[in-house]
Amino acid sequence: MPNFHDRLKQFIQNSDFDYKSLSLEIGQGERYISNLFSNGSDPGMSSVLRICAALNITPNQLIGLEDQLSVMRTADDNRIVSAHAEKILSAVTSEAHRRLKVRGIRPSFDDVLVWWHQQNGQLSNFDLLANHMDLFKPPSEAEFRPNPFRIGAHSLISTAFGVKDADHMRKLQNNFEDKLCENVAFAHVETTKGKPVLSIEQIDVTLPGRHFPARFVYKRLLLPVHDGKGNNFVLNYSQPLE
């Protein structure tokens, strides 16, 4: 049975692209596709979506899932695609979850962004991602501070600061400088406007029981999310800068 790379090679052969032109088409270096094959590596989910758009195929076809569906451009075909879109996205999400199980490591930023886009920002199909992320309620005018709602058991906040839950995080914030809390609150407000906010952050925090501040440099992705019941949140997914 063809694997991912065999299927990708076949689709490229049946297209007007070669490896170099496809690499450039999806915004990568000219040897990107060649390196995928020579290294046997898999692209991130965002690259998969760009490859599919360039080759005019669906993620189902490239990943090798059943019930394959070609992406068409006519009005009638767009109607058919819309009718099957939920099924396709569910299948791709399931494949992303399967890969997370196999890898046994934290999700990539691509994994999180693809999930967020597929779910239209709703907190669903979230089980394998939830433990790596934190949820905050938007700051209120009365108390303009980060407002923790749920802390993931394997999130950076949990592993770096030893935070157990949202109440613990609120207490720990009392040790943070007001300027730091204000900056985070402003970032949360900006996120509630509807777009992802990706940044590299550096903070110096004196933790309880320590005499000197600890420096943390990390990548932070903030996403506006909701629970489908009218409650809005800010999702924080962070990784140490390596």
**Model-wide pTM > 0.85:** no
pLDDT at 207: 59
Question: Over 80: is that where the pLDDT of 148 sits?
Answer: yes
Please answer whether residues 115 and 129 qualify as being in contact, where contact means their C-beta atoms are separated by less than 8 angstroms. yes
Q: What is the mean pLDDT of residues 41-48?
A: 74
Average pLDDT, the chain: 80
Instruction: For domain 4-105, give the CATH number.
Output: 1.10.260.40
Q: Say what the pLDDT of residue 167 is.
A: 95
Q: Which string of b and e fits 19-28 if b means at least 16 CB within 10 Å?
A: beebbeebeb
For residue 241, name the pLDDT band (cuts at 50, 70, 90): confident
pLDDT exceeding 70 applies to what percent of the chain? 76
Domain boundaries, the chain: 4-105, 127-240
CA distance 26 to 22: 6
State yes or no: pLDDT of 70 exceeds 70: no
Is the pLDDT score of 213 beyond 60? yes
CATH code of the domain occupying 127-240: 3.30.450.20
Q: So what's the pLDDT on residue 85?
A: 47
CA angle at 115 for the pair 13 and 133, rounded to the nearest 5°: 135
Find the mean pLDDT for residues 56-77.
58
Position 226 scores a pLDDT of 95
Cβ contact 137:149 at 8 Å:
yes
Structural contact between residues 91 and 114, judged by C-beta atoms closer than 8 angstroms:
no
Helix (H, G, I), strand (E, B) or coil at 150: strand
Residue-level pLDDT at 191: 95
Asked if 189 contacts 213 with a C-beta cutoff of 8 angstroms, the reply is no
CA distance 189 to 195: 11
What pLDDT, in 10s, does the model give residues 73-123? 455 544 544 444 445 445 555 555 555 554 446 788 888 888 898 888 999
Position 58: which residue type?
T
